[in-house]
Amino acid sequence: MIRFIGFLARNKVILTGTLLVFLLWTLDVVIDGGLYSTETFMDELLHPSTLEIYHRGLIIFLVIIFTAYTHFTLKKLTESENKIHSLSQKLILSQEKERKHIAHELHDGLGQSLTHINITAALIAQHSGEKETIRRADEICQSTQYIFNGFRNILNTIDPHLIDKLGLVTSIESLIENWQKHCDLNYTFNHSGKLNELPYLVCISVYRIILECLINTSRHAEASELDISLSVMPGAEEKESDTLLLEVQDNGRGTDLRALNSTGMGLIDIDERVQALHGTCEFNSAPGKGMHVKIQISLSEST
């Protein structure tokens, strides 16, 4: 309440309107420029014409107070939403920073160990004269190479470093290419617009959303096709912001989104990432109809 009163005091329009209402009340009971007596004052105040003006003034006053309170509440809600979005963005960046650190430690630790094992096994095979030793050494080289390839894919998932070096489009194409090696799915990726000029927060969020869609489709959808469309649409007017549009569609079994257990952590994670960027997210699905994810992000509001 104290904050609301302070808000009224700071708002010159509302304060002026309130003072005008009280001024009308005062002028309404003034007779020829003066108040002659208490009886005259009460007679004028209780006169039907005076009461009508009084009621109108009271209504105006109540409307002003209600408008001020509504404006005050909406302003506080907007400030709270902006703080939540800001905290969500900071959380995403903090998570990505931690992922980079983990990927770096794994690369320098486990990655170098695998490389050392592979080199040692190759040297043993090269300098050994026994066929059995050479065969065993070659098996070690093949095994370490297999582990290293899987390890590299894990590192790319934890920290998609290609985004920084080659841009968002190349990172997504590499992600899809690696995913095709392990899943019996036909992927299509259509893109347009200035996607490689997007802020890092938007890029990493889009990458994570597409990755989540790939995981959900391969694990749950029982689909044979997955279409991904990503584009930046320029604003209709010069001052209007560009919009990022992402659509992911599969031909899987679909699900009933109204069911209590239909929205898993994957869809929740997607929705939270989109909300952190002030975007909108739509999930459309039905049994036998596949899953369609549509995301729109205003690029002026996302940073």
Q: Where are the domains of the chain?
A: 2-89, 161-303
Q: What is the pLDDT of residue 17?
A: 56
**By percentage, how much of the chain surpasses pLDDT 70?**
74
pLDDT band at 130 (very low <50, low <70, confident <90, very high): confident
108 compared with 10, residue with greater pLDDT = 108
Can you tell me which residue has the tokens 């975007």? Answer: 279
pLDDT at 62 over 80: no
206 compared with 88, residue with greater pLDDT = 206
**Mutual angle of helices 131-158 and 168-180, in 10-degree steps:** 130
Mean pLDDT of 183-202: 88
- Please give the structure tokens belonging to residue 155: 């590192």
Largest separation between any pair of C-alpha atoms in the chain: 127
Nearest to 113 by CA among 138, 144, 156, 152: 144
**By percentage, how much of the chain surpasses pLDDT 90?**
12
pTM metric for this prediction: 0.64
Q: What is the pLDDT of residue 209?
A: 92
CATH topology of domain 161-303: Heat Shock Protein 90 (3.30.565)
**CA 149, 153, 158, 160 torsion-angle sign:** positive
C-alpha dist (Å) from residue 278 to 83, 86, 89, 256: 12, 10, 10, 26
pLDDT at 260 over 50: no
Lowest mean pLDDT: which of 1-5, 266-270, 274-278? Answer: 1-5
Lowest mean pLDDT: which of 4-18, 196-210, 249-263, 272-286? Answer: 4-18
Can you tell me which residue has the tokens 């934890």? Answer: 158
Contacts 24+ apart (CB under 8 A), 89-96: 89/201, 89/276, 89/277, 91/276, 92/201, 92/204, 92/205, 92/273, 92/276, 93/201, 96/159, 96/204
205 compared with 151, residue with greater pLDDT = 205
- Please give the structure tokens belonging to residue 37: 């007596």
pLDDT at 204 over 80: yes
Instruction: Please name every residue paired with 282 in a beta bridge, in sequence order, or none if there are none.
Output: 294
From CA 205, how far away is CA 4, in angstroms rounded? 38
283 compared with 97, residue with greater pLDDT = 283
C-alpha dist (Å) from residue 28 to 122, 179, 292: 104, 80, 65
Q: What is the pLDDT of residue 36?
A: 46
Mean pLDDT of 185-205: 89
Q: What is the pLDDT of residue 115?
A: 83
Cβ burial, residue 205 (10 Å; 0-12/13-18/19+): buried
Q: What is the pLDDT of residue 250?
A: 92
pLDDT band at 134 (very low <50, low <70, confident <90, very high): confident
